């Protein structure tokens, strides 16, 4: 009886042989393709959020700096504050990426903030003292760098989602989607043209998308 109890937890030889055959086949046939592509897309989206948050964190100091030299530009300053508030209220987590409408609202809100920031930076052209302020120059440089990082993160997300969505409808991974990962759905994507996927050199003197 003792010997039987010791032997019981171990799988039989046929089971071991079956696992040795089946597991490599699962890996070789692309079983991991869908979950890997999904995790890549989620990670890419998290980086998008990180960069937008980085931009949002810069705005209060930027507004206060501009206000110190151009307090009467109230409409422009208020527009940035309101656009930032709206952008921060609309969130799309990695768990809700299946909702195209939610992503569109997020994208539009961020585009509105970018447009408001463009107008704020343009205002500085009329204030030589503000343009020469070291704090303003540092914030402007950080903002421009962040806009480029946002563009890179968006591009990477677009590519990751295209890869993931393709795994759900192309052979042979579509077989896994049909029989094993039936709960997986395509992720929503940014509505940008192919020729706009490369990160631009940000110029806040012109209106930019979000």
Distance CA 103, CA 109 (A): 10
Q: Where are the alpha helices (DSSP H) in the chain?
A: 2-7, 13-28, 33-69, 74-89, 100-123, 128-132, 134-167, 173-179
- Going by pLDDT thresholds of 50, 70 and 90, the confidence category of residue 12 is low
pLDDT of residue 148: 97
pLDDT of residue 114: 96
- Per-residue pLDDT for 29 more than 70? no
Instruction: Return the residue matching tokens 């409808």.
Output: 169
- Per-residue pLDDT for 208 more than 50? no
| CA angle, 204 then 209 then 210, to 5° | 105
Q: State the average pLDDT for the chain.
A: 81
- Please, what are the domains in the chain? 36-196 (1.20.1440.20)
If you count DSSP H runs as helices and E runs as strands, how many of each does the chain have, helices first?
A: 8, 0
| CA angle, 153 then 156 then 159, to 5° | 150
pLDDT tens per residue across span 154-204: 999 999 999 999 998 876 766 666 566 666 789 999 986 443 444 444 454
Mean pLDDT of 61-84: 95
pLDDT tens per residue across span 94-123: 888 999 999 999 999 999 999 999 999 999
Give 150: exposed, middle or buried? Use CB within 10 Å, 0-12, 13-18, 19+. buried
Tokens coding 89: 């209220």
């Amino acid at each position: 009886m003792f010997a039987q109890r010791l032997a019981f937890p171990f799988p039989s030889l046929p089971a071991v042989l079956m696992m040795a055959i089946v597991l490599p086949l699962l890996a070789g046939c692309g079983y991991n393709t869908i979950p890997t592509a999904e995790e890549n897309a989620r990670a890419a989206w998290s980086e998008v959020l990180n960069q937008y948050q980085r931009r949002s964190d810069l705005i209060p100091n930027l507004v206060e700096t501009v206000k110190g030299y151009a307090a009467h530009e109230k409409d422009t300053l208020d527009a940035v504050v309101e656009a930032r508030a709206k952008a921060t209220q609309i969130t799309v987590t990695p768990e809700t990426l299946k909702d195209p409408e939610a992503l569109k609202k997020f994208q539009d809100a961020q585009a509105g903030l970018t447009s408001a920031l463009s107008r704020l930076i343009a205002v500085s052209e009329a204030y030589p003292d503000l343009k020469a302020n070291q704090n303003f120059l540092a914030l402007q440089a950080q903002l421009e760098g962040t806009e480029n990082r946002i563009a890179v993160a968006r591009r990477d997300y677009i590519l990751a989602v295209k890869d993931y969505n393709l795994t759900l409808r192309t052979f042979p991974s579509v077989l896994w989607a049909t029989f094993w990962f039936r709960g997986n759905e395509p992720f929503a994507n940014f509505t940008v043209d192919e020729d706009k996927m490369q990160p631009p050199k940000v110029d806040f003197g012109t209106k930019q998308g979000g």
